[in-house]
Amino acid sequence: MSDEDESVEGVGEEEEEEEMSEDCQYMDEGDLPRDIGDSGVWTLSSCKAGFGIQQLRDPSTTIYWQSDGPQPHLVTIEFLQRTALASFSIYVDSTLDESYTPKTLSVRVGSHHHDLREVKVVNLQAAVQGWRNITLATPTKGYRKVFVLQVAIIANHQNGRDTHLRALRVHPPEQDKPINQGSILNTSNFMDFSSTIR
Domain positions in the chain:
14-196
Reported confidence tier of residue 8, pLDDT bands at 50, 70, 90: low
Contact by Cβ (8 Å): 38, 138: no
Reduced to 3 states, what is the DSSP secondary structure of residue 86? Answer: coil
Angle at 144 between CA 142 and CA 150, to 5 degrees: 130
Rounded Cα–Cα distance for residues 87 and 158 (Å): 27
Q: For 97-101, 143-147, 166-170, 190-194, which range has the lowest pLDDT when averaged over its residues? A: 190-194
Fold of the domain built from segment(s) 14-196: Jelly Rolls (2.60.120)
Q: Sign (positive/negative) of CA torsion 48, 160, 112, 53?
A: positive
Point out which residues pair with 93 in neighbouring strands.
129
Q: For 9-13, 86-90, 169-173, 188-192, which range has the lowest pLDDT when averaged over its residues? A: 188-192
What is the mean pLDDT of the segment spanning 86-92? 96
Point out which residues pair with 148 in neighbouring strands.
78, 110
Cα-only R_g, the chain:
20
Q: For residue 53, which amino acid is it? A: I
Point out which residues pair with 88 in neighbouring strands.
134, 170
Contact by Cβ (8 Å): 144, 93: no
What stretches of the chain adopt beta strand conformation (E)?
Answer: 24-27, 40-44, 65-66, 73-85, 87-93, 102-110, 117-123, 129-135, 144-156, 164-165, 167-171
What pTM was computed for the model?
0.78
Name the residue among 72, 69, 133, 65 with its Cα closest to residue 103: 72
Reduced to 3 states, what is the DSSP secondary structure of residue 135? Answer: strand
What pLDDT score was predicted for residue 187? 43
Q: What confidence tens digit (pLDDT) does each residue in 103-137 have?
A: 999 999 999 989 999 999 999 988 889 999 999 99
